[in-house]
Structure 1
Amino acid sequence: MTTPTATATATAANRWFVPGDWNGFFGLVVDNLSILAFIAAALIGIFGFPADVVFQRMFPGTALGVLIGNLIYTALARRLAARSGRADVTAMPLGLDAPTSIGMALLVLGPAFVGYKAAGLDPHAGAIATWKLGMASLVVMGVLKFLLSFAGAWVTRVLPRAALLGSIAGVALVLMGFFPLIEALRVPVVGFVTLGLLLYVLVAKGRLPFRLPGVPLVFAFGTALYYALGFAGLGAPGFVPPAAVQWHLAFPWPSLGFVDGLPATLPYLPLLLPFGLLMVVGGINVSESARAAGDDYSTRDILLTEAFSTLAAGICGGVAQTTPYIGQPAYKHMGARQGYTLLTGLFIGLGGMLGLVSGLVQWLPLAVLAPIIVYVAIDITTQAFEATPRQHAAAMVLGFLPSVAYMLAIKLGNPAWIAPEKLAELAGALDGHGLPEVAVIKTLGNGFIITSMLWITSVVAMIDGRLRRACVVLLVAATLTAFGVIHSVDPRGGLHLPWQLQGLASTINLQFMAAYLALAAALALLSLQPGANPEVTLD
């Protein structure tokens, strides 16, 4: 016989919405809108991308991934609530991943579009080719995440936490932090005030009058300040307010368009594969975080959901991957339960198809969005240091440096900064003191995320006294260098066969391979000393 208490508990557990779901809904929607707005602002504002391709082709499929993932996470939460009889089960939040979404815009889609235009394609044709590259990139990352869903624990054992967190922290600090900061300061009053208030609210934990919610208030204040200065003629030069929100139907139908973009993904694999890998590791971490907060989700279900939603988005035209957010306990503390992910999925998904999301993001100024991304970069870097053993910090800092090289390579490759013929001259100029500096910068920057992982892993192994493990990592690095997975000497950063290289390119490739082999040999000899730890286990 069922007791009244048990019946009441089961009824509460099956409720679709509670008041706290509105708090979670607002926070999760703002996160996703901010990322979508930055993607649009970066592609359109920085790279001159046609707006119609962004809003009517890229956004609907990207939003569909958010819808599918949140619907599945809502179902998983309701299943857990029904199974446990608990009313306080909180769904796993899912949205667009900030670091890799911004990385896709700044490091893959934008440069690819510039390259297509330089090759002679008109802007619209170049944008369509770039869109198909974005679709294919999501399919590649989705397949990788699907495969790694069954091997996530092994990945986390093979790669130390410093390598996983440090590689993305380098991207965050050097690329996500620096580039958006420059964009924010192009409208200094708005950008600097918005950034300062965000740091007051989020870093200094400062109080606001009447206990108003900090981030939404700063967001609204920065936007109001931007438009007030703009309409008064005191803001950005050439200020023009966006057009009114235009409703349109752009349903993300599945297509094989990604197949056309697959060949173009080859030069970007050293970026795309780590992007997918990091999401798998992140999914494992957030599952553990939710479990510690009392919600025991299957890690494999969490990982398979993000893999499926990423694949679905890519097949339907999306260009940014989804991921479970790390703040599930925070949403639980807000009082959110199972309805907030359903509401978010419907708002972002349907809004992306109907043009509502596109209209909203057009009204969000880059000078206000960029400081939010700068804060995210600061937070990611800080968390990397906090979650990494202190003795591994030096290894992680070393892993930041390839990101610096990639940032310089991006700027050097901008024709507005340096003429292409001058860049080619500098990249091939020998002065008798070693390889050309520009060539070294570009070579170090190519495949920088995997380079960072390998450097950090090898130094962590040295710190832990596992010299033979460090040797194995260096031998892997030498092998990857030979084929251009890291340190590619291809002008586009693509893969290559070492025996087909000629001239200076062959010399650079051999020199970088020899560097890894020489250090591996030195560490192998050092491991023979009495008392050295020979451990080399990778499982």
Structure 2
Amino acid sequence: MKWFSRGDGEGFVVAFINNLVQLLILAPLCTGVLGFSPELIYGRILPGVAISFLVGNIFYAWQAMQLAKREGRTDVTALPYGISTPGLFAHVFLVMLPAKQLALAQGMADPERFAWHAGLVACFLGGLLEFGCSFFAEKIRKHTPPAAMLATLGGVGLGFLGLSFLFQAFAAPVVGLVMLVLVFIVFFGRMKFRGGLPATVVILAVGTALAWATGLAPVGGPDARPLAHLQVYWPVPVLGELWAAFSGGHILAYLSVVIPIGLLGVLASLQNIESAAAAGDNYPATPSLVVSGLGTLAAACFGSPFPTSIYIGHPAWKKLGARAGYSALNGIFITLVCLTGSMAALTWLIPAEAGIAIIFWIGTIIAAQAFEVTEQKYYPAVIIGLFPALAAWVMLIVKTTVGAGGATLDAALVANAHAAGAYLGGGFALEQGFLYSAMIWAAVVVAIVDRAWLRAAGWCAIGAGLALAGLMHSYALTGRDTVIDLPLLSWLTGQWTPGRSLFPAGAAAAGYALAAVIFLLAKFILVPRAEDEVA
């Protein structure tokens, strides 16, 4: 297999747009939500992002070449890699924003640096966690049904990559609908433009032109200064800052966020590796996760508070004909964007609406794959596995809407919603640890279809343990958001408040435990029935 093929150009553009949209989200969050200065964003955070991108993308390109050589193939596609979306939002809203608010409340001299330090600690610890878990990853993958892994990703594809961007497309229909039609013609209709023009380049150019014609661009309005930060920002290790961050008391305060987000990152990476295997590229889990963890550690050491992970979307890139070169090009060009300050110019020039249809297509392909490579008898398991991620996306929309309306998300609002028939409490419980619950419930249904009662009981026991530990279904209301609630960890670290329940998801844990008992008794109380027999 050659380093570069015809499909790598197309794959690179799609990967670049996908990662660019992430950066188009990251920069405004750092500016608008956290109030970080341009010097910190362009001089420290984005160069750190560049290092992490380069580490991962170059390795995964090399890994694809090695797999192709080992198996004598020319159609191996590298694992996609980039910033973890859950990690991005968690570190902004659950780590750095609370840290900055605390610093402001206590009258600290430099709240920006205090918040940045909290993000560096969270990022470094998350990288260590993924690195450590990588050595057990193959065992997890071996004992988890592929339908459970793929269904979980399918839900993310439908919700966070599908419905989310579909809403955005219909909010600006002149651009959004034209982009959807072009993407569907090219990728679902398997058509190409005359003259050999790369389809994704044409689509992005048309989207950008329509955005400028309809007033969606320039982003930031006529007063924006897109070239103000255009210069070279060399990556500089921030080990001194990282040491100061660890000695600043951030570790215990944010373990309750770092541990679940880190574990979710490991799980998501495993699911993406399984997705690649289903598409024909069977990568070993341990080295893949080791490098993903090292990429996150490199990000923290060079100033980025944002973790990286193996990315969703491998089957989409494979359908484009991308091989190894697209990954290397993606790492190089994202590095150039992050090191030259051109992120500000790109944000000004290209609105997100110009590229969202491509991301919508990626989400659709991910959801479709869960059915394409799964036996028909396991389709119910796949469908069950879609629901938790869809619920998490719906809850995100609810919380965003509540916050935008100036309402307070508290127990009274949840109780009133329940009385009206909208069970927000159940949705919030399902939202927390949704990657776990999606995989567990899909695996349980697979076991039920196979009448493997002991295996089903084992998955329910895992669910009971995760709920009891607070890693799943345990949430606390913060006024504008819900966060995972880990009072047991607070008790172990000496931060527990007397009178607070140690097991807020204890009822869910009891439910899983009782379900496990039912499965253990199933062999004795149930008998098979004929296909045409009424239950």
- Normalising by structure 2, we get a TM-score of 0.77
Change (3 A) 1:370 1:140: farther
1:484 aligned partner: 470
2:235 aligned partner: 252
Secondary structure at the counterpart of residue 349 of structure 1 = helix
Q: CA deviation at 1:236?
A: 9.2
In 2, Cα distance between the equivalents of 1:471 and 1:227?
Answer: 57
Contact 1:162 1:384 in 2 (8 A): yes
Opposite residue 326 of structure 1, the aligned amino acid is H
Opposite residue 264 of structure 1, the aligned amino acid is Y
Task: Select which of 345, 349, 360 maps to 1:374.
Answer: 360
Q: CA deviation at 1:393?
A: 1.9
Q: CA deviation at 1:222?
A: 0.5
Q: Which runs of 5+ in 2 are unaligned?
A: 478-482, 529-535
1:323 aligned partner: 310
What is the alpha-carbon root mean square deviation over aligned residues? Answer: 4.3
Contact 2:56 2:291 in 1 (8 A): yes
2:50 aligned partner: 63
In 1, Cα distance between the equivalents of 2:397 and 2:362?
Answer: 23
1:298-317 superposed matches below 5 A: 301-317=287-303
Contact 1:149 1:300 in 2 (8 A): yes
In 1, Cα distance between the equivalents of 2:409 and 2:129?
Answer: 39
Deviation sequence 1:384-407 (CA, Å, 0-9, x none)? 221223222212222222234323
Opposite residue 375 of structure 1, the aligned amino acid is W
Contact 1:173 1:378 in 2 (8 A): yes
1:495 aligned partner: 486
2:387 aligned partner: 401
1:511 aligned partner: 507
In 2, Cα distance between the equivalents of 1:356 and 1:442?
Answer: 39
Task: Select which of 94, 112, 137 maps to 1:152.
Answer: 137
Secondary structure at the counterpart of residue 517 of structure 2 = helix
Structure 1 stretch displaced more, 23-32 or 395-404: 23-32
Q: CA deviation at 1:458?
A: 1.6
Opposite residue 494 of structure 1, the aligned amino acid is D
2:28 aligned partner: 44
Contact 1:32 1:95 in 2 (8 A): no
Structure 1 stretch displaced more, 378-387 or 207-216: 207-216
Identity %: 23
Opposite residue 275 of structure 1, the aligned amino acid is G
1:398-477 superposed matches below 5 A: 398-414=384-400, 415-417=402-404, 419-421=406-408, 423-428=410-415, 437-477=423-463
Q: CA deviation at 1:242?
A: 5.1
Aligned length: 501
Q: CA deviation at 1:531?
A: 7.3
Change (3 A) 1:522 1:271: same
Change (3 A) 1:291 1:383: closer
1:75-86 superposed matches below 5 A: none
Q: Which runs of 5+ in 1 are unaligned?
A: 1-12, 533-539
Q: CA deviation at 1:488?
A: 0.6
Contact 2:170 2:177 in 1 (8 A): yes
In 2, Cα distance between the equivalents of 1:342 and 1:474?
Answer: 42
Q: CA deviation at 1:247?
A: 1.9
Deviation sequence 1:156-177 (CA, Å, 0-9, x none)? 1111112212122212212222
1:52-451 superposed matches below 5 A: 52=38, 54-73=41-60, 93=78, 95-97=80-82, 101-106=84-89, 109-110=92-93, 121=104, 131-132=116-117, 134-230=119-215, 239-240=221-222, 243-245=225-227, 246-256=229-239, 257=242, 259=246, 262=251, 263-267=253-257, 269-283=259-273, 286=276, 301-318=287-304, 319-323=306-310, 326=314, 330=318, 342-414=328-400, 415-417=402-404, 419-421=406-408, 423-428=410-415, 437-451=423-437
Secondary structure at the counterpart of residue 371 of structure 2 = helix
Task: Confirm whether residue 527 of structure 1 aligns to residue 523 of structure 2.
Answer: yes
Q: CA deviation at 1:226?
A: 0.9
Opposite residue 377 of structure 1, the aligned amino acid is G
Opposite residue 225 of structure 2, the aligned amino acid is A
In 2, Cα distance between the equivalents of 1:322 and 1:423?
Answer: 33
Contact 2:62 2:324 in 1 (8 A): no
Contact 1:411 1:417 in 2 (8 A): no
1:3 aligned partner: none
Q: CA deviation at 1:218?
A: 0.6
In 1, Cα distance between the equivalents of 2:223 and 2:321?
Answer: 38
Structure 1 stretch displaced more, 155-164 or 65-74: 65-74
Secondary structure at the counterpart of residue 22 of structure 2 = helix
Opposite residue 495 of structure 1, the aligned amino acid is L
In 2, Cα distance between the equivalents of 1:237 and 1:309?
Answer: 31
Q: CA deviation at 1:464?
A: 1.2
Secondary structure at the counterpart of residue 103 of structure 1 = helix
Structure 1 stretch displaced more, 44-53 or 152-161: 44-53
Q: CA deviation at 1:223?
A: 0.8
- Normalising by structure 1, we get a TM-score of 0.77
In 2, Cα distance between the equivalents of 1:291 and 1:437?
Answer: 42
Change (3 A) 1:388 1:140: farther
In 2, Cα distance between the equivalents of 1:104 and 1:458?
Answer: 28
Secondary structure at the counterpart of residue 310 of structure 2 = strand
Q: CA deviation at 1:424?
A: 2.8
Structure 1 stretch displaced more, 364-373 or 479-488: 364-373
2:480 aligned partner: none
In 1, Cα distance between the equivalents of 2:111 and 2:376?
Answer: 46
1:4 aligned partner: none
Contact 1:402 1:451 in 2 (8 A): yes
Change (3 A) 1:367 1:508: same
